[in-house]
């Protein structure tokens, strides 16, 4: 397993590295730290040959990567790469595809004052075009230990099966509990319907979860602890706030139906969840299939124990 | 571990260096390092880059008037002669760029050749020249911005807004701030935009020339003047002072051309493209300069009244005055061409002082913060903002002290270019002194050409500096009985000396030659 980390030499980059380490530890994955430097053009640079600045950029990027590498603890393997490209997002996606990465990790926010997540332009471009899942680290994410729980946000639209398959696989591989979360925004006058709506949502989530859990393999089924939670509030933000979140938790969200197949497009609901969420979020492209369910067998088991 | 290609981690500080060296090698030879260059350019692309760096519409409107005031009808001759030192110096510039590609250009090269002190001043000259041109570019853009508004709404009063001092300064500062912001964000004018801008400039300048000549033919010109062979005779210029001033101004109009010679790896055919591109660029530029210069002289004459090219009122920005009478309703195209080319140049020129400052910060010749690269935008962050502040300050000072700020800044700029190009050319001669006599080619390119060019430019610099002490020099502005151009030019250089001495006290490392060593 390889995770590509889009590194920026500031607090946002540190958030990303921490999250990547945390994710890698539960899975024995290796990190590829990538700094994107722009293509230096001769167009639009008068009185200054480009070669010199290019060297300065490469040198600086190498320095940044050395610093980034120092943030990664010794038990997590990591490599560094300098990539050249005009768009950070597209260059990162290119790197992820080329390196065969299973996940792209970035710091989502430049630190809004009131909102935990303020989507930066790179993150937002990534969310619109990535073909691999994108993990977004919230502002100030410092945790490096392995995950303790996985939450999967379920909407009531098509594509839920794929997302649940992915979530079950992830929880099984990491041997952590899975919580299926149904988030409901109920209008002010609709409090009376809350119980009915919650019941329907729970029934829906449980049905899909049952379908997603591998029926034949009893031991897998037993290993994966699952629960279904319905959270509601006047808005999605309030519903998210009402849930309790573990420090070592991530929320999985499927991309919107608007996305072309195999790429991520964050729907407005997901966007609103992101703003209220205190834990990292992983956005999975529609139709994305987890490559290796039960992959943990081929992984070094001692690694899982270590973390 | 199953992750076989994962790097082994250093277990102690001793291993760290080796591990990093290995890393670096991998980066350089791997896919992620310098491999195939995307966006390499062909001949046309290189020519477009060259022309866009020169920005002919802007340079003509800024330099034509001041040059006419110095050399009168010998303008075409001076424009031709001015190219010679530029060519000679650019040849040396190319040699240095090939041997030591560095973002600090003149600063780094002069430091390597002559040591830290002259190197620092070479860098300062380059920064000062680009800062001055930034303030002039912004001012020209503002003039044509208001002129275009006036043409657009058919209300001539709008064009006069630029003469309103507080408004003019405020607008100029906004333009500088915008260009700085774009530069800070690491955004660059794209190839296709440059193609359009360059094509448009050449088209409009051609249109201007044709329209002017047809006025002359129809007898509707302001002061129809027949073209004479004497206009092309540089020795017809009445005095050496006028000649020196004219040449240092015409250095400015070719400034930026040298970039075509330094494009090697970015061209599709590094052997041939740069040389050809430089040749084609200069041919295009000379043709357009000659045509426009002749058209202007034929149409307006060099008289100092009305539309005459010698009228001090017209010196700052000749096309602002002439485009209307010559092109009629289409004058708005000229405003648009100059506004767009000076705005694009404003943004692209920001890169130059910022990168030089970055390099000086990196080599510890300036405080460390100048060497910062923005992690998010990958641009020289502190240096870009410092350049903008300096350009804004320079403009405010010139605008409030000079009767004709544009004119005086261009003259001071010519001096400053002569100064740092002179140093750069001589740095080439000195740096390659050991190789200079290893064959005719080396002798010409590394020794003779830069030596001649450098000496010529430094002579022009000294002569112009001396003459500009006269309070009547340039636009005739003066401070304490000394010409403003002198005060600006030498003031900037002296300021550099002072800052250098301060730096030498607080960060002596560079000045002891420990950072950039002399010689190969």
pLDDT tens readout for residues B158-181: 888 888 899 999 999 999 999 999
| Candidate from A42, A53, A298 with C-beta closest to B103 | A53
Residue A194 maps to a domain:
no
Residue A102 maps to a domain:
yes
Section B139-148 average pLDDT = 92
Q: Is the CB of A100 inside 8 Å of chain B's CB atoms?
A: no
Helices (H) and strands (E) in chain A, counts: 10, 10
On chain B, the residues whose CB falls within 8 A of the CB of A62 are 23-24, 27
Please give the residue of chain A at the shortest CA–CA distance from B54.
A46
- What is the nearest CA distance from A285 to chain B, expressed in angstroms? 26
- What is the nearest CA distance from A8 to chain B, expressed in angstroms? 6
pLDDT classification of B453: cutoffs 50, 70, 90: very high
| Candidate from A42, A43, A52 with C-beta closest to B101 | A52
- CB atoms A42 and B266 under 8 Å: yes
Q: What is the pLDDT of residue A241?
A: 84
Please give the residue of chain A at the shortest CA–CA distance from B347.
A44
On chain A, the residues whose CB falls within 8 A of the CB of B259 are 42, 46-49
Residue A3 maps to a domain:
yes
Q: What is the CATH number of the domain that holds A110?
A: 3.40.50.620
Q: What is the pLDDT of residue A298?
A: 34
Q: What is the pLDDT of residue A48?
A: 75
Alpha-carbon distance of A39 to B33, in angstroms, equals 12
Please give the residue of chain B at the shortest CA–CA distance from A45.
B348
Tell me which DSSP letter residue A119 carries.
Answer: B
Q: In Å, what is the CA distance from B187 to each residue of A39, A137, B183, B192, B350?
A: 11, 27, 6, 14, 11
Pair of tokens at residue B113: 């050749």
Q: How many domains does chain A have?
A: 1
Section B325-340 average pLDDT = 92
Alpha-carbon distance of B262 to B280, in angstroms, equals 15
DSSP secondary structure string, B219-285?
A: T--SS-----GGGG-GGGSS-HHHHHHHHHHHHHHHTTTHHHHH--TTBS-TTTHHHHHHHHHHHHH
Which of B99, B103, B263, B360 to mutate against chain A (most A CBs within 10 Å)?
Answer: B103
- CB atoms A8 and B376 under 8 Å: yes
| Candidate from A37, A46, A98 with C-beta closest to B259 | A46
pLDDT classification of B248: cutoffs 50, 70, 90: confident
Q: Which tens digit of pLDDT belongs to each residue from B34-60?
A: 333 555 778 888 898 889 889 999 999
Q: Closest Cα to residue A82, out of A98, A65, A106?
A: A65
Q: Which of A278-292, B103-117, B173-187, B489-503 has the lowest mean pLDDT?
A: A278-292
Which of A49, A101, A295 to mutate against chain B (most B CBs within 10 Å)?
Answer: A49
Q: What is the pLDDT of residue B9?
A: 40
- Residue B80 φ/ψ region, left for φ over 0, alpha for ψ in the -120 to 50 degree band, beta for the rest: alpha
Q: What is the pLDDT of residue A221?
A: 53
Q: Closest Cα to residue B347, out of B200, B492, B141?
A: B141
Q: Which tens digit of pLDDT belongs to each residue from A268-295?
A: 666 677 777 889 989 888 767 655 444 4
10-residue stretch averages of pLDDT, chain A, 307 residues long: 92 92 91 91 72 87 94 93 88 92 84 52 76 88 91 71 83 88 68 69 77 62 73 80 89 66 55 79 76 41 35
Section B376-404 average pLDDT = 91
pLDDT higher than 70, residue B3: no
Residue A168 maps to a domain:
no
Report yes or no: A119 and A109 within 8 Å, Cβ to Cβ: yes
Q: Which residues of B263-298 are buried (b: 16+ CB within 10 A; e: fewer)?
A: bbebbeeeeebbeebbebbbebbeebbbbbbbbbbb
Residue A82 maps to a domain:
yes
- What is the nearest CA distance from B315 to chain A, expressed in angstroms? 25
pLDDT classification of B115: cutoffs 50, 70, 90: very high
Total-model pTM = 0.84
Q: List the domain range (segments joined by +) for residue A125.
A: 1-43+53-146
| Phi, psi angles (nearest 5°) of residue B372 | -70, 140
Report yes or no: A15 and A107 within 8 Å, Cβ to Cβ: yes
Residue A250 maps to a domain:
no
Residue A5 maps to a domain:
yes
Section B381-392 average pLDDT = 95
- CB atoms B349 and A10 under 8 Å: no
- CB atoms A56 and B256 under 8 Å: no
A8-12, A263-267, B484-488, B502-506: range with highest mean pLDDT? B502-506
Section B189-215 average pLDDT = 91
Q: Which tens digit of pLDDT belongs to each residue from B13-32?
A: 333 333 333 333 333 322 23
On chain A, the residues whose CB falls within 8 A of the CB of B277 are none
Q: What is the pLDDT of residue B225?
A: 86
Residue A131 maps to a domain:
yes
Q: Which tens digit of pLDDT belongs to each residue from B356-366?
A: 999 999 999 99
Instruction: Burial-class residue A23 by CB neighbours within 10 Å (0-12, 13-18, 19+).
Output: buried
Mean pLDDT of chain B: 85
B354 or A208, which is more confident:
B354
On chain A, the residues whose CB falls within 8 A of the CB of B39 are 39, 41
Alpha-carbon distance of A47 to A42, in angstroms, equals 10
Q: What is the pLDDT of residue A218?
A: 54
Which of B107, B351, B361, B420 to mutate against chain A (most A CBs within 10 Å)?
Answer: B351
Q: Closest Cα to residue A6, out of A47, A36, A28?
A: A36
């Amino acid at each position: 397993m390889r995770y590509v980390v889009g590194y920026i030499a500031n607090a946002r980059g540190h958030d990303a590295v921490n999250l990547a380490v945390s994710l890698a530890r539960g899975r024995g994955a290796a990190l590829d730290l990538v700094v994107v430097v722009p293509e230096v053009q001769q167009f639009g640079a008068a009185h200054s040959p480009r070669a010199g600045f290019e060297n300065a950029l490469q040198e600086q990027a190498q320095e940044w990567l050395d610093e980034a590498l120092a943030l990664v603890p010794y038990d997590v393997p990591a490599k560094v790469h300098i990539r050249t490209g005009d768009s950070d997002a597209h260059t990162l996606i290119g790197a992820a595809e080329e390196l065969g990465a299973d996940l792209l990790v970035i710091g989502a926010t430049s630190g809004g004052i009131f909102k935990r997540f303020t989507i930066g332009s790179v993150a937002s471009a990534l969310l619109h075009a990535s073909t691999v899942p994108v993990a977004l680290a919230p502002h100030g994410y410092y945790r490096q230990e392995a995950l303790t729980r996985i939450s999967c946000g379920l909407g009531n639209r098509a594509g839920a099966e794929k997302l649940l398959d992915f979530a079950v696989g992830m929880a099984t591989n990491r041997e952590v509990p899975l919580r299926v979360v149904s988030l409901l925004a109920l209008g002010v006058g609709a409090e009376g319907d809350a119980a009915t709506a919650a019941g329907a949502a729970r029934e829906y989530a449980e049905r899909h979860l049952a379908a997603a859990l591998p029926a034949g393999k009893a031991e897998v089924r037993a290993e994966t602890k699952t629960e279904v939670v319905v959270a509601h509030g006047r808005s999605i933000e309030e519903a998210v706030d009402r849930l309790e979140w573990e420090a070592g938790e991530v929320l999985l969200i499927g991309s919107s139906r608007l996305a072309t197949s195999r790429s991520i497009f964050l729907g407005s609901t997901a966007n609103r969840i992101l703003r209220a969420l205190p834990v990292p979020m992983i956005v999975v492209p529609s139709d994305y299939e987890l490559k290796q369910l039960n992959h943990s067998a081929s992984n070094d088991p001692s690694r899982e124990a270590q973390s | 571990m199953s992750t076989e290609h994962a790097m082994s981690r250093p277990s102690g500080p001793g291993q760290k260096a080796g591990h990093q060296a290995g890393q670096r090698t991998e980066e350089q030879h791997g896919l992620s390092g310098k491999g195939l260059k995307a966006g390499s350019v062909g001949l046309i692309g290189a020519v477009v880059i060259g022309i866009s760096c020169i920005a002919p519409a802007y340079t003509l409107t800024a330099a034509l008037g001041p040059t006419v005031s110095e050399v009168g009808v010998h303008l075409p001759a001076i424009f031709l002669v001015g190219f010679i030192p530029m060519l000679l110096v650019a040849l040396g510039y190319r040699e240095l760029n090939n041997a030591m590609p560095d973002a600090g250009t003149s600063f780094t090269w002069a430091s390597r050749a002559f040591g830290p002190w002259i190197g620092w001043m070479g860098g300062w000259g380059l920064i000062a020249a680009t800062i001055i041109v930034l303030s002039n570019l912004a001012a020209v853009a503002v003039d044509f911005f208001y002129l275009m508004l006036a043409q657009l709404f058919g209300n001539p009063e709008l064009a006069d807004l630029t003469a309103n001092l507080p408004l003019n300064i405020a607008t100029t500062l906004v333009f500088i701030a915008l260009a700085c912001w774009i530069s800070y964000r690491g955004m660059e004018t794209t190839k296709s935009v440059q193609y359009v801008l360059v094509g448009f400039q050449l088209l409009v300048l051609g249109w201007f020339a044709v329209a002017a000549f047809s006025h002359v033919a129809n007898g509707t010109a302001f002061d129809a003047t027949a073209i004479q062979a004497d206009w092309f005779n540089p020795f017809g210029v009445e005095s050496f002072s006028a000649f020196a001033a004219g040449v240092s101004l015409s250095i400015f109009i070719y400034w930026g051309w040298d970039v075509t010679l330094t494009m090697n790896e970015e061209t599709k055919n590094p052997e041939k493209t740069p040389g050809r591109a430089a040749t084609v660029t200069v041919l295009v530029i000379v043709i357009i300069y000659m045509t426009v210069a002749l058209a202007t002289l034929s149409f307006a004459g060099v008289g100092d009244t009305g539309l005459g090219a010698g009228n001090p009122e017209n010196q700052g920005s000749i096309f602002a005055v002439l485009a209307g009478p010559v092109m009629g309703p289409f004058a708005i195209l000229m405003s648009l061409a100059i506004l767009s080319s000076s705005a694009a140049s404003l943004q692209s020129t920001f890169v130059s002082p910022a990168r030089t400052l970055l390099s000086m910060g990196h080599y510890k010749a300036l405080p460390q913060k100048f060497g910062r690269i923005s992690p998010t935008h990958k641009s020289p962050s502190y240096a870009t903002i410092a350049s903008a502040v300096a350009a804004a300050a320079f403009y405010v000072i010139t605008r409030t002290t000079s009767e004709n700020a544009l004119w005086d800044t261009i003259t001071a700029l010519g001096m400053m270019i002569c100064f740092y190009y002179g140093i750069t050319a001589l740095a080439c001669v000195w740096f390659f002194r050991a190789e200079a006599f290893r064959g005719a080619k080396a002798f010409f390119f590394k020794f003779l050409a830069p030596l001649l060019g450098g000496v010529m430019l430094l002579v022009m610099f000294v002569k112009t500096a001396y003459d500009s002490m006269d309070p009547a020099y340039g636009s005739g502005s003066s401070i304490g009985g000394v010409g403003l151009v002198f005060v600006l030019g030498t003031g900037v250089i002296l300021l550099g000396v002072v800052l250098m001495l301060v730096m030498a006290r607080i960060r002596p490392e560079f000045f002891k030659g420990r950072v950039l060593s002399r010689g190969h």
